[in-house]
Structure 1
Amino acid sequence: MTPSPAVVQPDQELIREILDELDLEHTLDSEGDIAISTAELTVFFLFGSEGDLFTIRTFYERYYSVDDKPMLVTALNEWNADTMWPKVYSFTQDSGVMRVVGDSQLYIGAGVTREHLTTVVAHWVRSAIKFHRWLTDRLAFETD
């Protein structure tokens, strides 16, 4: 019988190690959260206050007006219905400007294997970028 792989409790240090292994350049933001930033999006790696939830939250750098909301919500709903992650939603700032946010979450309260965590991080970052490309194409189609 093969022994089961070791279970680890993810933390920021482990996430930084995984991002280095995946060759993904990252920084710490002003609040101490790990982030990957590009011109199109910023991906944050967050841990819930109870320590049982790991979230990859992406803020997309394109801004929308409230007039764009029906078209944007239709596209986001289409993505959410067809795709497991990230789950995406619009966020309207006090100024009335809308942004798109994507979330992927993993329960880590009982621990996970390092291999699984590495796979999750790689796929979620790739999916955050894939969504950006999909939304850009989808909205370009709408406006043509």
Structure 2
Amino acid sequence: MGFFTKDTSAPEPSVLEPLSRDRVAACLDARGLNYGVDDDGDIGGYWDGHVFYFLVLGQNGEYLQARGRWNRKVGSDQLDALNRLVNEWNATRLWPKGYVRDEDGEVGVYAEHTVDYEHGVTDQQIDLQLACSIATGLQLFEHLDEQYPEQAAAAKAEQEERD
């Protein structure tokens, strides 16, 4: 049989279910994780003080994007330094993609991972993407905390006051 010849003797693959917000929430529920749903129906929660959102995007809701934001207050004077750190991260790791934005005098740093599930997805794949996106996003944020220990300590002290 040629490489591009379809093997008709093989069984048909099972049908994958479409991606949905309900399925994302079910995966978080199965792990016993705390999360909320905003007014737009987006699912989000906090891990180690950093907010993560799990967005179902695309014309047909076929993309699952996990996006986390580094919860540190860093002035815009550090924009170039953070751009270099995040670009170095992106050059040496497959994911998550990191990016930096100037947000009204402060620098916002984001970790993002998007997968196209146009042909459907298993619950195990959703669970794996959520778990890996949170874990690797937190690795990026920990890397940045090592470079900005004062901001990390201030954010942790602020969190302890709230708790």
Matches within 5 A, 1:1-144: 4-38=13-47, 40-50=49-59, 51-93=61-103, 95-140=104-149
2:96 touches 2:136 (CA, 8 Å); kept in 1? yes
- Note the residue ranges of structure 2 that are not aligned, 5 or more in a row: 1-9, 150-163
Q: CA deviation at 1:103?
A: 1.0
SS at match of 2:64: strand
CA contact (8 A) 1:39 1:61 kept: no
* % identical aligned pairs: 22
Q: Deviations over 1:56-111 (max 9, x none)?
A: 11122112212112221111011111111111111112x22211111100001111
Q: Kindly tell me: are residues 3 and 22 of structure 1, through their superposed partners in 2, closer, same or farther at Cα, counting changes over 3 Å?
A: farther
In structure 1, runs of 5+ residues without a counterpart are none
Q: Quick one: distance in 1 between partners of 2:122 and 2:11? A: 15
Q: Is the 8 A contact 1:6 1:113 kept in 2?
A: no
What is the distance in 2 between the residues matched to 1:114 and 1:39?
25
Task: Flag as ranges the 4+ runs of structure 1 deviating above 3 A.
Answer: 1-6
RMSD of the TM alignment (CA)?
Answer: 1.9
1:138 CA displacement: 3.4
Rg larger in 1 or in 2?
2
Q: Secondary structure at the match of 2:54?
A: strand
Q: Report the Cα distance in structure 2 between the residues aligned to 1:4 and 1:23, rounded to whole angstroms.
A: 31
- The answer (yes or no) to whether the contact 1:7–1:112 under 8 Å persists in 2 is yes
- Tell me the distance in 2 between the aligned counterparts of 1:17 and 1:126: 19
For 2:23, what is the secondary structure of its paired residue? helix
C-alpha distance in 2, partners of 1:3/1:22? Answer: 31
Please report the TM-score for the alignment, with normalisation by the length of structure 1: 0.85
Which residue identity is paired with 1:130? Q
Per-residue displacement from partner, 1:23-80 (whole Å, max 9, x unpaired)? 2211112332100124631100111141221111112211221211222111101111
Question: How many residues are aligned here?
Answer: 139
**Cα distance in 1 for residues equivalent to 2:96 and 2:124:** 20
